Amino acid sequence: MPLTSSSDLTGLPKDAGSILNLAAKSLFDVIAHASEGMLLVDHSGSVVWINDQYRRFLPALGYASKQEVVEMPVSALVDSPFPRLPQAHFRAGT
């Protein structure tokens, strides 16, 4: 929802839950429409979603569809610049 000016806040949510939902949707829209290939990973390190730009790279990686990579460990797709972390690191709250 574009704002016409910085003081035009009509129509924006007022409660915390709605604001959080709007922020999450806005962030997801940015990731979905990014010009770079991007993917989302859950707390266990599994791919849960890829954008269309990343999907275009799948044939070069040996995959025919996004269904083949969803639920796959991200480490099978992307080399990490970080040392391998134990799975416990990816659990919520650690």
Inside any domain, residue 27: no
pLDDT 10s digits, 43-90? 888 999 999 999 998 999 899 999 999 999 988 888 766 555 555 445
- Indicate left, alpha or beta for 42 from its phi (over 0: left) and psi (-120 to 50: alpha): beta
Neighbours of 54 (CB within 10 A): 20
Inside any domain, residue 72: yes
Half-sphere exposure of 71 (CA within 13 A, CB side): 3
pLDDT 10s digits, 51-60? 999 999 899 9
Tell me which residue range forms the domain holding 81: 36-94
Domain count, the chain: 1
pLDDT 10s digits, 3-46? 455 556 677 788 888 889 889 899 889 888 988 989 899 988 89
The helix/strand/coil state of 6 is coil
Return the closest-CA partner of residue 50 out of 93, 62, 36, 25: 36
Inside any domain, residue 1: no
Indicate the pTM of the whole model.
0.62
Residue type (1 letter), 85: L
Inside any domain, residue 18: no
